[in-house]
Structure 1
């Protein structure tokens, strides 16, 4: 005779879901800079998993929305620092809808599993759903917004080295799997305590459910064990690099009101650094927007840049805003070398919607006239960039530029790192954080660069107009980190490496695998539920088996 399955919780009150879900979002937000309490991320996942486990899909979706608002409103508060609350609340709400959809889908997958012996598999839907949710919001709408992903909260976590194997999606899976294990452990402890209080001693669980539960524990702990056992390598050929954080006259949207001053700050910082250097560096890196005066149209700007190049006697990689191609402007990285010649050029491939271009401008103007702050849209580059850096007496290496928010996009970073014939490289993240003032945005972006260093096994030169800037090692550690809104010029010795990590070889496979596994879970749950129903119907022809499936979960 079969054991009656334990069903979902049809009578669960909304408050028992929404309040813990909201708290879980606030708890998860603490894992991100500038709080940096990395272990609250798996705890937040555990609390959300517990709050929505067994809930009907609609109620689970509301729980996901509550979690999303509790999470995104604080972590993305910097988006409204100078443009008002509407863009901040709108973006946070949009992102929260993805967590609502995730919880709905997870509950839909879990529902048939909870009524069968495959019940332990219901827990696996949570990390799979989280990976798929982050993939969806990182691609849609308008190219997506993959900021504050769980992986990006783990730069100081013992889980961080797992980024070498699973990339950002794999690291998110590891965080959520750990969170689910916390949920399972707390649930088992609670059930055991209740049984002891009631002096109920049933037979030990047997069969496929126990085996699956053990398998889930192993699956959840495997990323942590692998991360702890495999420390990211930091070997390589050191090269001398200088970054210059020139600062701006004022923070805010009008940071470039004195564009010439911003350019002069970076020129003067480079010339002053040249006077301190015993030997020239192999490369100088300036940030995004270090020259908002187009040097191709302005001879004075070109002359100042050339002065800095010839004084430091090294190539300079700088960020510039270029006029064209008409009717657009370009956010570009320019590579100037000593001795003259046309600079190399990389154009940002992923301009930011509503910041560098306005989609459906006439429609969104109905909600805010601030869309016209972007007077001309930025064009979109069509290829990754890389510039060859000569080193006296040694083999050259490549510097691979990434501009601002591009560092958050998996595919773009992977394609840039894996350019054929340009494997011996360091990564340069050029950014301008002046438009976000003294908020957490700068630190959040620096944390993303740290995860990228681990994921791709590369040194990263992360440089901002106003900070924070620093040299990041291939294991995610950093040196010479700067403060906000202070001029700085720092010499460092990042190592050049050629490794292709497991994460780079896998590419998008972790996300595809998560989608396939979610479909298999759904199919397994529906198949097992139909099979259980047939067995119970044969054992009890009166039809009471269906009634037994409508009980309440302990």
Structure 2
């Protein structure tokens, strides 16, 4: 068991290295293969323990940035919960490995596990899905065909097939070739391009955060003023002919950390910026919802009609932006003392109308969830925007992890995407995931870029949640088949030997 545990831990570390900050995605299938190899021929309890070792070594390192930004208590709790999912997958592996073509069923189970932990408990935590490590690899274009869950399935299939080949090279060599072609070759050859139906010019503002840069509340009014000043400066350059006029301006999440409707100084600053640029500004604001709740919103602020359409963040972070079961906790314990009001979840699935352009919005961690941007694209969004703060994570590798996910969303939807951050990382991304423009970390910058608009749908957008549902059904069916196979084997193992019939003498 000690050797198996070591292999499981090694696999988790290899998977960690596939993501930012190391970003060696070619290690991903080897990490998954180590997971599979360490589990072979083990009972369910022992396999579950090995899976947990894998999960601990992967997830505690993968989100170590949380200990540096949110707090050690939150990091330990969240990483521990997420690591347990790999333990559950490990415990189920003996049922799946006894089936023919077991890499297929294990890959489906891996994708299903990622789906479950991305939505539960509470709002889940999608960080660490295999698909999120695939940017800048030949596999990335597959996300336009199969979505994030489908791409995770293909990458897991590659890893499990690698393990199967190591166990029985002769029998599964052809399978390895097929899996490699499916994951690495075909997506690169058959990338899906959505035809552009129009153009727009977008200004993306990164105003910067005063002070140490990792705390919006250090000087919240200063954050807003930075974005106002950058927008007014852009308006001056437009008037002088030094910059093209944008169709709209995008500000980041927390560009107003206080309620822009009740804080007169913040409200006046926004209006000054909008009056200067004379086009809608999408403001990121914290809007009060009664005494005990707050909404994290993207607000379309029109130069004529004022604040209009709003997108509300769908997935607030538990114990970071709201407190589940608040009544049972000591309000002065750890991070809980900093969260006096619970953030409510949004439900909007139709795009925002910004200067006549249907735009899909996502706020911060929303970009990692499959139910936010894809739903808006299917409802007619022609352009994607992400509003994020990331100030709390400014000195960590979370920023690059989130930016990689953001780039994959552009490929998945076949849309241009602009992302505004308070102090990093702001950028403009084209539909193949390439970064067209980006701003430096902890700088004040305005990116003005012409972007394409598209109305067509990629296969991933057209299929919606069906690949996920199919993989979940495959997993349940395979587990049922595994139980049947296990029972049959037990029955065969416990059947008494047939009694020996003695032949009569002289026969």
Same topology, TM > 0.5: yes
Q: CA deviation at 1:388?
A: 2.3
The separation in 2 between residues aligned to 1:502 and 1:261, in whole angstroms, is 44
CA distance in 1, matches of 2:70, 2:353: 40
Q: Please state if 1:518 is matched with 2:479.
A: no
Correspondence 1:303 to 2:290: no
Hey, what does 2:442 align to over in structure 1? 485
CA distance in 2, matches of 1:534, 1:289: 62
Shift of 1:43: 1.3
Secondary structure of the 1:333 match is: strand
* Cα distance between partner residues in 2 of 1:292 and 1:232: 39
Task: Please report how far the alpha carbon of residue 88 of structure 1 lies from its aligned counterpart in structure 2 after TM superposition.
Answer: 0.9
Structure 1 position 347, deviation (Å): 1.8
Report the CA distance between 1:29 and its aligned residue: 0.5
What's the counterpart of residue 203 of structure 1?
none
With over 3 angstroms needed to count, the CA separation of the structure-2 counterparts of 1:252 and 1:215, relative to structure 1, is same
Q: CA RMSD in A?
A: 2.6
Cα distance in 1 for residues equivalent to 2:109 and 2:220? 46
Paired residue secondary structure (2:342): coil
Contact kept? 2:254, 2:389, Cα under 8 Å:
yes
Residues 161-188 of structure 1: CA distance to partner in whole angstroms, max 9, x if unpaired?
1111111111111111111222233333
Q: What's the CA shift for 1:398?
A: 1.5
Q: TM-score, normalised by structure 2?
A: 0.91
Equivalent residue, structure 1, for 2:49: 62
Three-state SS of the structure 1 residue aligned to 2:315 is coil
> Structure 1 residues 260 and 356, CA, compared in 2 at 3 Å: closer, same or farther?
same
Q: Secondary structure at the match of 2:81?
A: helix
Deviation at 1:306, TM superposition (A): 1.6
Judged with a 3 Å threshold, the aligned counterparts in structure 2 of structure 1 residues 125 and 509 are, in CA distance, closer, same or farther, namely same
Match of 1:400 in 2: 360
* Pick aligned residue for 2:228 from 267, 271, 295: 267
Question: Relative to structure 1, is the Cα distance of residues 89 and 143 closer, same or farther in structure 2, using a 3 angstrom cutoff?
Answer: same
Partners of 1:47 and 1:311 lie apart in 2 by: 58
Residue 468 (structure 1) aligned to one of 408, 411, 425: 425
Once the 2 structures are TM-superposed, how far is the Cα of residue 253 of structure 1 from its aligned partner?
6.4
Cα distance between partner residues in 2 of 1:96 and 1:446: 23
Pair 53,531 (structure 1): closer, same or farther in 2 beyond 3 Å: closer
Matched, 1:360 2:325: yes
1:138 Cα deviation (Å)?
0.6
Task: Determine the structure 2 residue equivalent to 1:160.
Answer: 140
Aligned equivalent of 1:284: 249
1:276: Cα distance to partner? 2.8
Q: 2:186 aligns with which of 218, 221, 226?
A: 226
TM-aligned CA distance change 1:537 to 1:268, over 3 Å: closer
Q: Which one of 157, 162, 165 corresponds to residue 185 of structure 1? A: 165
Distance in 2 separating the partners of 1:428 and 1:542:
75
Q: How does 1:109-188 map to 2 (within 5 A)?
A: 109-110=96-97, 112-113=98-99, 118=100, 121-188=101-168
The more displaced of 220-229 and 368-377 is 220-229
2:55–2:82 CA contact under 8 A, matched in 1: yes
Answer whether contact 2:299 2:307 (CA < 8 A) is retained.
Answer: no
Q: Secondary structure at the match of 1:352?
A: coil
| Long gaps (5+) in structure 1 | 1-13, 193-209, 391-395, 544-554
Deviations 1:308-361 (A, max 9, x none): 112222211110011224431211111112224343222222221111111112
Question: 2:16 pairs with 21, 26, 29, which one?
Answer: 29
Q: Which of 217, 236, 259 is the equivalent residue of 1:256?
A: 217
In the TM superposition, what is the alpha-carbon distance from 1:521 to its structure 2 partner?
A: 2.8
How far apart are the structure 2 equivalents of 1:530 and 1:256? 60
Distance 1:62 1:526, change over 3 A: closer
Unaligned stretches of 5+ residues in structure 2: 501-507
1:373 and 2:346 aligned: no
| 1:500 CA drift (Å) | 1.5
Q: Structure 1 residues 327, 523: closer, same or farther in 2, change over 3 A?
A: closer
* Higher mean C-alpha displacement, 262-271 vs 100-109: 100-109
Tell me the distance in 2 between the aligned counterparts of 1:465 and 1:21. 39
Q: State the distance in 2 between where 1:518 and 1:380 align.
A: 30
Q: How many Å separate the matches in 2 of 1:43 and 1:482? A: 34
Deviations along 1:19-44, one digit per CA (max 9) or x if unpaired, are 01001111101111121111111110
Write the distance in 2 (CA, Å) between the matches of 1:386 and 1:302.
24
- Report the Cα offset of residue 527 of structure 1: 5.2
**Alpha-carbon distance between aligned partners in 2 of 1:525 and 1:329, rounded to the nearest angstrom:** 47
Describe the shift of the 1:530–1:216 C-alpha distance in structure 2 as closer, same or farther (beyond 3 A).
Answer: farther
Question: Structure 1 residues 366 and 313, CA, compared in 2 at 3 Å: closer, same or farther?
Answer: closer
Greater displacement, 150-159 / 510-519: 510-519
The more displaced of 329-338 and 226-235 is: 226-235
**Partners of 1:334 and 1:345 within 8 A in 2:** yes
Which residue of 2 is the match for residue 241 of structure 1? 202
Q: Tell me the equivalent position of 2:306.
A: 341
Which range moved further: 100-109 or 129-138?
Answer: 100-109
Q: How far does the alpha carbon of each residue in 1:437-459 deviate from its partner, in whole angstroms, 9 at most, with x for none?
A: 31011111111111111111111
Residue 509 of structure 1, CA deviation: 1.8
TM-score, with normalisation over the residues of structure 1? 0.83
Residues 234-288 of structure 1: per-residue CA shift (max 9 Å, x gap): 6423321110101111347642231110001001111122233333111110000
